[in-house]
Amino acid sequence: MSAVNFPDQAGRTIVVTRVFDAPRALVFAAFTKPEHLVHWHNAGEGWTTPFAESDPRPGGALRIGYGSPDGKEDFALEATYQDVVEPERLSYLMGDRLVTVTFDDVGGKTKVTLELTLETEYHEDLQRAGWSAHLDNLAAYLHTTR
């Protein structure tokens, strides 16, 4: 997948929301604990998550490995936690891009709202699709934990 520059996206944010049929504490743990992250934090379509490291506290590191289907585009997401209020919200910086995730209890289910600053390397539609795929993977993973 080749990248193109989309400078008009600089500084813009998108919001992706999903309701999960799982308690808020479990969904929060799935976002912050390596033993959960390796099961769902990828964009699907043959991608894998070979490792995850997480120190969920302000200033703590987040590293998640992404294995590409052909092994030629493997990379690691690296971020620094900015704010962690268990089980309500967390935010982290990936370079200069902020990701904020809120977790709302809605009658025993959990509404996740993910707001993130767009990067300029990939089109907004592709970024939205990738983050939506992450949340689809999370829904499938949470179903296996019940």
Rounded CA-CA distance 35/69 in Å is: 22
pLDDT digits (tens, 9 = 90+) for 27-46: 999 999 999 999 999 888 89
The model's pTM is 0.93
In eight-state DSSP terms, residue 127 is: H
pLDDT digits (tens, 9 = 90+) for 56-110: 999 999 999 999 999 999 999 999 999 999 999 999 999 989 999 999 999 999 9
Domains identified in the chain and CATH numbers:
9-144 (3.30.530.20)
From residue 71, give the alpha-carbon distance in Å to each of 90, 131, 137.
31, 21, 20
